[in-house]
Structure 1
């Protein structure tokens, strides 16, 4: 009988939306994939003892802590998963790496280029000691996105000439929606630009294999004051209640130049009425095009410009074939689609595999820094009203 895989103790900081998604992934991955290490959900961290204890029970963690520094002291924690607001990413990740813990950090990597550079330096110091770091751009791990990357790399659409990328949400369209940390620049770094725009920047660079090298952007805050949540109700009353300033962008748009000479048009907004989580990417090349929409996430559309005009057109590819498409062999029969949560599971699979193999996982902290530099250039460009190199 083969020996059981070695244990990988996981400690997670934060247990809200992203914490729940990451918890589901850590729980699920060992049951569907043959992992070289055995993840154990050792501890979850939150500031409120009662709430984090309840979250540990609900999400499947063995214990709860109220100080993330305790994870660095615990011998049963090998990896720290950072699911907190951006203003804490650098401090937690750098300390964890220096303490010899592997790190998975949510995106965007940091709130500034300077913080991201510090994190890259820590990751590279740690890598020399066999300690690994990865940033959580999970949409890379949607099978249709993996196929898009392969088709571009294989030359199926030729030279990239145009990229159109959108991330559209509407959850802030209501001006009475309460103020949260995501609308506080000190905590979030930026608004739609960093929260969701970071994803389409990363996806574009991942799929095309190119870098965004210059940008000119616009940022807009449509609702500048919002009700402050109260401790008793979680929401403030309407009419005459206390409000607080929104200090981030509600929407971001920018033009870009790609390293291969192509042009890009990017849009990120939390004010697109009716769009809940629409990620749309179209890439036009010299020999064809690709189009993806997360609202139909198991499908990739491909146009081959070499086909005769009589039958030419976009072909709808259902990306669920176990013999050809990334990750899907572990799940369901062809045509039985995957959902939002599966990409987080694939993230765990890839990270655990990289740790066991002794190589740096992707996307690396340096990949996260590249995205951070684009976000920074867009923000500075919007303030200056000019093109800026990244």
Structure 2
């Protein structure tokens, strides 16, 4: 009986260790005891979504303020936007090809060891098994292909008439895939769980607003929600980079024993929500001021142009010139007569003045004699 119990205890010990450990191993059989992913794997998406969200914001704001002008086009949501003289299809090209650079950084260029192999090679104790430390890199890299597909669909839409909302559907599914990857992401400690759960919420919010845009394409505030979700996602990627990889004492949870860092995560998240909303409002006010100044200048130029083209203004201008001409002529003639009262006036000159006066009286001009 004692021997049986002892053997049972020996069999259960490794299983308990496996259930309570991380459950990932190096190819030599050693367990993985460090955080998953990499610094660049969290920072790079933050940069991408920051630039993307800012680009969407300027495009959506411009379309909204253009729609408020007297003869402006109706506001309607779209998945891509132009920038100054850069056409909107450039965003589609960026969406289709720039994520390939991010994938190459995640799986190859950003690591000293080169290619992040997925399976342990032959000749190692765990040959054929997944290489545990690289699983986080592959999860992060798999976030990009759905966006590449969405960009390719945008490009196809420029040449082929797709059903209404096709581009929005593919963009929505890209954010859904991103959300699912983060929701199913392996978490190790309470802090790790809190950080990645919050990141999942930001992705889900962005996907939701993209779907709502499909149902309400003329609603400006829903489009702003897409911008908000994208910028918040970017902000939290930056926060996650600092929390997980900068190793500040403030975020040291002592292998899950200290719950303080995990409990402070919602405080940081709410602060970032307020910061993103405030930034969006400030940019909105900036656009509002710019369009007011531009419209006021345009109205002034338009009024000046109308005055120049007004026929009454032109007639008044000609009328005053006629008055000046006639007055000058009469004054000159009278001056000549007064200046030389005793001088003899040639008959031809007198006849010409008389003829001009008769012509003026007959045709009713403004010259008064």
TM-score, normalized by the shorter chain, greater than 0.5: no
Larger Rg: 2
TM-score, length of structure 2 as denominator length: 0.21
Structure with the bigger RCO (C-alpha within 8 Å, sep 6+) is 1
More helix by share: 2
TM-score, length of structure 1 as denominator length: 0.21
More strand by share: 1
